[in-house]
Homo-oligomer: A and B are copies of this chain.
Amino acid sequence: MFETQTLASYVVTGRIESVPEDVRHEARRAIVNYVGCALGGSVDTAVDRAIQALGPYSGKPTASILGRTERMDPLHASLMNGIGSHVYDFDDTTPKNYIHPTSPVASALFAYASANPVSGRDFMEAFILGFEAESRIGNAVYPAHYDVGWHITGTAGVFGAAAAIGKLLNLESREMIWAIGLAATQAAGLREMFGSMAKAFHPGRAAQNGYAAALLAQAGFTAGEHGLEGPRGFAAVQAAKYDLLKITTRLGEDFGLRANTYKPFPCGIVNHPTIDGCIQIHDQHRLAPDQIAAVRLRVAPLVMDLCNQQGITKGLQGKFSVYHGAAIGLVRGKAGIQEYTDAAVNDPQIKRVRELVSAVGDPSITEDQARIEVELTTGAKLTRFVEQSLGNIHRPMTDKQLEAKFRDQAVAALPAEQVEKAIGLSWKIDELDDVAELIRAAVPAGK
């Protein structure tokens, strides 16, 4: 009935001290994962082009962009942080609603915090509440909303950014209701854009528009007060079926962060169980590539639909090749950014093993599973069954693995010692007097 008002009140009154420690730790993990992704993607052409296009329109450059030397106003910095952190599709995912949740919220918060003093406590409070608003709104409209073609990371993300920035601005309840309304009326992003730079534009624009929604609300720019539940509001217009109870039920008790997951490998998630199993075989047996005679995979049928690319020559193609995934796992024992370059795809040893891989779709194998058989030149066979893929909700990446992922990405943007500093500060973000300390570590020295 009054979901917008209930949610607004929760965000206005919520305090981090009421958030259980496991949720707070998951928030730290989300931030560690996010900062690494933002640094990794910050060097991408999509960010270059967006800065080239919009840089001339930026306001006073009071805000840093993670991983970049350029500075912009905080709204534009939100956009650039969002593009960079999502452009490699390596950021977090909440499987129950398909949202990549941290990018829209944290992209706005880091932009805000680089232009305004914000304590780690306040930052994390705003992050957890923004994440919660976004998750709950996403849950309410998923799956109909996603299925019809909305990129829910953009559409739910704008609410998360509005709530988080609104929290830091100390909006009152009515202003927060307007901020949610102004977010609702900007909720956009089509799945038709997948495969282009515009996909990463979605969380960026969500961050920027949510931030602007909070600023406008603060200035008394009014909006409809039933942005979520009204007869012409977000849920009714943008989802054929929805359940508004998911916005308000057990508010302050259940937390969306508990359903969050982190990708271990920068490629299509359906390849993950295969890569995971091959890395396990690598780590256990330390095979030399020329010991391998054949690799046989049994995988979920969807893998064969999405990732059945053989004869590849480009890094990007590697992301959609389960054969490449198996090969890099077995040869290198890892599948990081460096395993998806053109050079890696054309590496003779990887190529040789890749061409030994065959795969069969098997309806008895779930998308979290893979059955791997490696036949050696001796005729011996090594087998591995992955029952739960690393990174899924039942087998989360460890903190150490998140750190390794951060490092693997961040070296593209920062010198090694700054990478280590940024990792350390990200883990203890909620203890910082000013989040600017972390941001300084996550920005390269000017030219």
Q: Does A382 interact with chain B (Cβ within 8 Å)?
A: no
Partner of A219, one of B50, B201, B236: B50
Partner of A190, one of B185, B205, B219: B185
Interface size class of A (residues with CB under 8 A): 35 or more
A148 CA to B58 CA, complexed, in Å: 36
Task: Report the bound CA distance from A194 to B181 in whole Å.
Answer: 11
A315 CB to nearest chain B CB (Å): 17
Chain B residues positioned under 8 Å from A376 (CB to CB):
none
Q: A73-B57, A237-B150 are in contact. Are A198 and B221 (CB under 8 A)?
A: yes
Find residues 133-169 in chain A having any chain B CB closer than 8 Å to their own CB: 148-151, 154
Most buried by B among A50, A182, A221: A221
Interface residues of A in 34-91 (CB under 8 A from B): 46, 49-50, 52-54, 56-60, 73-75
User: Do residues A192 and B53 form an inter-chain contact, with CB atoms below 8 A?
Assistant: no
Q: Which residue of B lies closest to A48 (CB)?
A: B219
Closest B residue to A211 by beta carbon equals B57
Closest chain B residue, CB of each to CB of A229: B192
Query: Taking the nearest CB of chain B, how far is it from the CB of A226, in angstroms?
Result: 6
In the complex with contacts A53-B218, A54-B215, A182-B194 CB distance below 8 A: no
B190 contacts A221, C-beta separation under 8 Å: no
Partner of A184, one of B185, B190, B218: B190
**In the complex, chain B residues whose CB is within 8 Å of the CB of A215:** 53-54, 57
Across-interface contacts of A231 in B (CB, < 8 A): 149, 192
A201 B182 Cβ-Cβ under 8 A: yes
Q: How distant is A161 from chain B, measured CB to nearest CB, in Å?
A: 15
A196 within 8 A of B: yes
Q: Which of A201-256 contact B (CB under 8 A)?
A: 201-202, 205, 212, 215-216, 218-227, 230-234, 236-237
Q: A257 near B: Cβ within 8 Å?
A: no
Known: A185-B190, A215-B53, A226-B192. A221 touches B233 (CB 8 A): no
Given contacts A49-B221, A151-B185, A184-B190, 4 further A-B contacts (CB under 8 A): A54-B212, A149-B236, A192-B224, A196-B225
Complex A-B, nearest 10 residue pairs according to Cβ-Cβ distance, in ascending order: A149-B232, A53-B219, A149-B237, A191-B232, A198-B223, A192-B232, A192-B230, A192-B233, A188-B188, A196-B222
